[in-house]
Amino acid sequence: MSSISATKHHKEPLVHIVKRDEMKIWQAWLVRVAAIVLALLLVGFISMALTKEDFFTIYETMYKGAFGRLGSGSTVMLWNFLQKTAILLGLSLAVTPAFKMKFWNCGAEGQALMGGLASMICMIELGDKLSYPVLLLVILLTSILAGAIWGVIPAIFKAQYNTNETLFTLMMNYIATQIIKYYLYIEGGGSNKINPVDEGNLPIIFDNKYALNVLIVLVLTVLVYVYLNYSKQGYEITVVGESKNTARYIGINVKKVIIRTMIISGAICGIIGMLLVSGTDHSIDTNTVGGQGFTAIMVSWLGQFNPFIMILMSALVIFINLGTGKMADTCGLNSSFADIAVGIVIFFVVGCEFFIHYSVRFRHQRKEAKV
Amino acid sequence: MKRILCALLACLMIFSLVACGANDDVATPDEVADVKVGFIFLHDENSTYDKNFMDAAKAACEELGVEYAQKTQIPEGAECTDAAIELIEVDGCNIIFADSFGHENFLMKAAEQYPDVQFCHATGTQAHTAGLDNFHNAFASIYEGRYLAGVAAGMKLNEMIDAGDIKAEEAKMGYVGAFTFAEVISGYTSFYLGAKSVCPSVTMDVKFTGSWYDEQLEKEAAEALISGGCVLISQHADSMGAPTACETAGVPNVSYNGSTVDACPNTFIVSSRIDWAPYFKHMIECVQTGTAIEADWTGTIETGSVVLTEINEAAAAEGTVEKVEEVKAGLLDGTVKVFDTANFTVGGEPLTTYLADVDTDADFTPDTEAIVDGIFCESDLRSAPYFDVRIDGITLLDEKY
């Protein structure tokens, strides 16, 4: 145990921040769960104060917003929840390899949009020209390619000229959005809208249009986990992320790893774009990804780059989002309240990491302090 | 890993329990069918367009004692389908209403999935050809309201001419429009024809902003029109941009969607708007009594759907109230027709035949003859406007949108 303020003369500050020894894993998780519960309670209390509804109504409404009415026997809202979680999770999975390499890919939004755009173009242009299985294959490949290209451009510049990837990927988002806008302008016939297209839709399994999306993202989750933790390339990513010099020293081609990882990152985004356009929306607009590409950055961090923890984190974010959104609608709050609530929860979850790594001591406790 | 899962599952279970506690709202059947309306709004109460709908929704549902739920900030995309499904599944709504033109296709997707739920959509064009029994469009003959507002504008121009402020040929109005859609063209043309019916020398310049809501652009457009010699301004856009520009410049303004008299006490003349409460009441009563809702419903002055705000005597010309009442009576008894082809020309020629794009298709193909007995029959063939003729006397300054 090391104290930051080791020197003590006349005056000792009231509060000390002390670095903890490594906390036990279960303890750390207890802190995290406590943070989530506290955040949910705070959201509940704020809602109560704003809406004058009672405590249980608040949580009932939140639950309904996410999972649907209890006892209605309908699973439509549950599937809606799973779909939204799957999309957010998929994008989080996409940015994770890049993040692990300390390449800050803030461009998931644009990469997914480009993947979606590729699907849309195939559906419109090739929908009546190719047989269904061939069409699906073409859609899949072009979406992956489009996402990968959008991801690899900043990576090449990073690898060759060491440009700032955060700004570069953010900029690529704007370009993607404008390309979509232009496409809507030429394809939308004055209304700037594309009506849902019936060709080239992903098949429906289990009688549910979201089921395939959820399944594909689950498979991706396992693949990304295995890739990061049990493959040579995954190891290379970790080494490059820890120290580029070490990586070079042990003979890893850093440029190659950066480019290869961003191709993977962009390709997964492309797949998510395809799931959104060909799988569910059958149409595209600038709002198709809906900012989830940015929320994914948060989820990836909250999940500590572990795909399985990211499942829980994306589910949590979507639950809060849908739940408080419903509450805002039901109780006449502004719909921005959902964003505020998600902000509160993320603040708590990120904030609790501080308490996992540091402890706060008051002056008189210092001597007999124990962790 | 297991521990984490257990902890989170436990959390989830606690939530379920909490949620179970208060779930006992069982519907009690009445002699009329139970109705709950779900409203889908493009923006929220900060937009004058949506506020107009939200106020009417509240008024109609409270008057009939019907429950309702709403979702705001729903974009014109797949989110609209999701919002409709949520209103049905979670809130138990059996009428869904969406307020924006672009919602239509996505609302129809939900209508296909829920044949027992009625879907009503404002400003849409496809219900009469879609072949869905539970999907309906509605609009109002707002061109009649604009015509009346135009009469008030013409009276003001006459007053300026009589006072010697302007010469008769300088009676030029300016109009800030959003897009070159039929809805906008129909709106500014009827406004112009209303003014022309009392002030024959009037001309009009139109500028488009390419947005339904852009305060800065609308303000700039109004200022450009004023500096271009327009002595009266009207607009078809949702922000306060044009009205405030007029108040600053001291130029009379005819507004839309609601009164702007508070912000513009010296220049606001009158405003026309659609009151949606009559339609909301109509669709609710149809479902209560098990009657089918029309595929296309057009509200009129008679149904109380097309209304004018109070005329601001401080800015309007003397005798405006009486004149507007007189023309309104004419519209009601059918002696006044807004789009009477005797009152306007196209390229110097009278208009005798016109194919309008009534049945929606991707290429906007004109398909239906709209002129019957010398009258362009706006909103007869479907509720949403389809008058998109460019008539003489109106100059479009830009057509980029």
Task: Check A29 against B18: CB less than 8 A apart.
Answer: no
CATH of the domain spanning B32-140+277-299, picked from 3.40.50.2300, 3.30.450.20, 3.30.70.3270, 3.40.50.11270: 3.40.50.2300
Cβ contacts (< 8 Å) between A318 and chain B: which residues? none
Shortest CA distance from A63: residue in chain B = B19
| Mean pLDDT to the nearest integer, A184-198 | 76
- B226 neighbors B243 (Cβ within 8 angstroms): no
What integer pLDDT is reported at residue B12 of this predicted model? 52
Nearest Cα of chain A lies from the Cα of B90 at a distance, in angstroms, of 5
Cβ contacts (< 8 Å) between B364 and chain A: which residues? 189-190
ipTM of this predicted complex? 0.78
Task: Check A326 against B85: CB less than 8 A apart.
Answer: no
DSSP 8-state secondary structure symbol assigned to residue B367: -
> What residue spans of B95-240 are helical by DSSP H?
104-113, 127-130, 142-162, 182-198, 215-227
- Whether chain B has a CB inside 8 Å of the CB on A29: the answer is yes
- Whole-angstrom Cα distance, residue B325 to residue B347? 33
**pLDDT reading at B233 higher than 90:** yes
Strand-pair category, B349-350 with B345-346: antiparallel
| Mean pLDDT to the nearest integer, B138-151 | 92
- Between positions 178 and 217 of A, the ones with CB within 8 A of B are 189-191, 193, 195-196
Q: Which residue has the higher pLDDT, B221 or A193?
A: B221
- B167 neighbors B149 (Cβ within 8 angstroms): no
| From A52-66, A186-200, A267-281, B99-113, the region with the lowest mean pLDDT | A186-200
pLDDT in tens, B176-226: 988 888 889 999 999 999 999 999 999 999 999 887 778 888 899 999 999
Structure tokens at B3: 């521990």
pLDDT in tens, A313-360: 899 889 888 888 888 887 777 777 888 888 888 888 888 888 888 888
Q: Which of B257, B278, B273, B293 is nearest to B96 (CA)?
A: B293
Q: Do the domain assignments include residue A357?
A: no
| From A70-74, B197-201, B225-229, the region with the lowest mean pLDDT | A70-74
Q: Give the mean pLDDT of chain B.
A: 85
Task: Check B22 against A60: CB less than 8 A apart.
Answer: yes
Nearest Cα of chain A lies from the Cα of B222 at a distance, in angstroms, of 24
Task: Check B75 against A287: CB less than 8 A apart.
Answer: yes
Please report which confidence band the pLDDT of residue A180 belongs to, taking 50, 70 and 90 as the band edges: very high
Task: Check A63 against B79: CB less than 8 A apart.
Answer: no
Q: What percent of chain B has pLDDT over 70?
A: 90
Structure tokens at B320: 């405006």
Rg (CA), chain B: 24
Q: Do the domain assignments include residue A174?
A: yes
What integer pLDDT is reported at residue A88 of this predicted model? 94
Strands (E), chain A: 2-3, 15-19, 358-362
- Whether chain B has a CB inside 8 Å of the CB on A280: the answer is yes
| Mean pLDDT to the nearest integer, A108-115 | 94
| Mean pLDDT to the nearest integer, B84-106 | 90
Cβ contacts (< 8 Å) between B85 and chain A: which residues? 76-77, 80
**pLDDT reading at B361 higher than 80:** no
The torsion of the CA quartet A98, A103, A109, A112, rounded to 10 degrees, works out to -40
| From A189-203, B38-52, B161-175, B276-290, the region with the lowest mean pLDDT | A189-203
Q: Which of B337, B338, B258, B273 is nearest to B304 (CA)?
A: B273
**pLDDT reading at A190 higher than 90:** no
Nearest Cα of chain B lies from the Cα of A186 at a distance, in angstroms, of 12
Q: What is the CATH code for B142-273+307-337+383-396?
A: 3.40.50.2300
Please report which confidence band the pLDDT of residue A371 belongs to, taking 50, 70 and 90 as the band edges: very low
Structure tokens at B314: 């401080």
Shortest CA distance from A282: residue in chain B = B78
Q: Nearest-5° angle of CA B316, CA B319, CA B325?
A: 100
B89 closest CB neighbour out of A29, A77, A287: A77
pLDDT in tens, B283-341: 999 998 888 888 889 998 989 999 998 888 888 888 899 999 999 999 998 888 889 88
Residue type, A74: S
What integer pLDDT is reported at residue B43 of this predicted model? 85
**pLDDT reading at B17 higher than 80:** no
Find the domain containing A258 and state its range.
Answer: 74-306
Task: Check A312 against B16: CB less than 8 A apart.
Answer: no
Map tokens 């879609």 to a residue: B130
Cβ contacts (< 8 Å) between A323 and chain B: which residues? none
- Whether chain B has a CB inside 8 Å of the CB on A37: the answer is yes
Q: Do the domain assignments include residue A33?
A: no
Please report which confidence band the pLDDT of residue B22 belongs to, taking 50, 70 and 90 as the band edges: very low
- Whole-angstrom Cα distance, residue B291 to residue B358? 26
| Mean pLDDT to the nearest integer, A205-223 | 89
Cβ contacts (< 8 Å) between A288 and chain B: which residues? 77-78
| From A29-33, A334-338, B87-91, B102-106, the region with the lowest mean pLDDT | A334-338
**pLDDT reading at A369 higher than 90:** no
| From A30-44, B23-37, B267-281, B323-337, the region with the lowest mean pLDDT | B23-37
- Between positions 324 and 363 of A, the ones with CB within 8 A of B are 326, 329-330, 334-335
Q: Which residue has the higher pLDDT, B316 or B22?
A: B316
Helix (H, G, I), strand (E, B) or coil at B63: helix
How many structural domains are present in chain A? Answer: 1
Q: Do the domain assignments include residue A332?
A: no
- Whole-angstrom Cα distance, residue B5 to residue A311? 11
Task: Check B90 against A329: CB less than 8 A apart.
Answer: no
Top residue of A75, A78, A185, A195 to mutate, by most chain B CBs within 10 Å, is A195
What integer pLDDT is reported at residue A69 of this predicted model? 77
- HSE of A297 in the Cβ direction (CA atoms, 13 Å)? 14
What integer pLDDT is reported at residue A365 of this predicted model? 57
pLDDT in tens, B258-273: 788 888 888 999 999 8
Task: Check A309 against B92: CB less than 8 A apart.
Answer: no
**pLDDT reading at B240 higher than 60:** yes
pLDDT in tens, B313-324: 888 888 899 999
Q: Do the domain assignments include residue A224?
A: yes
Q: Do the domain assignments include residue A326?
A: no
B7 closest CB neighbour out of A29, A71, A195: A29
- Whole-angstrom Cα distance, residue B137 to residue A82? 33
- B91 neighbors B120 (Cβ within 8 angstroms): no
pLDDT in tens, A113-153: 999 999 999 998 888 888 888 999 999 999 999 999 999 99
pTM > 0.90: no
Q: Give the mean pLDDT of chain A.
A: 85
- Whether chain B has a CB inside 8 Å of the CB on A78: the answer is no
Q: Where, residue-wise, is CATH 3.40.50.2300 in chain B?
A: 32-140+277-299, 142-273+307-337+383-396
B7 closest CB neighbour out of A33, A68, A191: A33
Please report which confidence band the pLDDT of residue A7 belongs to, taking 50, 70 and 90 as the band edges: low
Nearest Cα of chain B lies from the Cα of A258 at a distance, in angstroms, of 30
**pLDDT reading at B2 higher than 70:** no
Cβ contacts (< 8 Å) between A195 and chain B: which residues? 105, 362
Helix (H, G, I), strand (E, B) or coil at B228: coil
Shortest CA distance from A276: residue in chain B = B78
- B42 neighbors B53 (Cβ within 8 angstroms): no
Shortest CA distance from B365: residue in chain A = A189
B364 closest CB neighbour out of A80, A190, A283: A190
Could you tell me which residues come within 8 angstroms of residue A341 by beta carbon, excluding any fewer than 6 positions away? A43, A46, A47, A320, A321, A323, A324
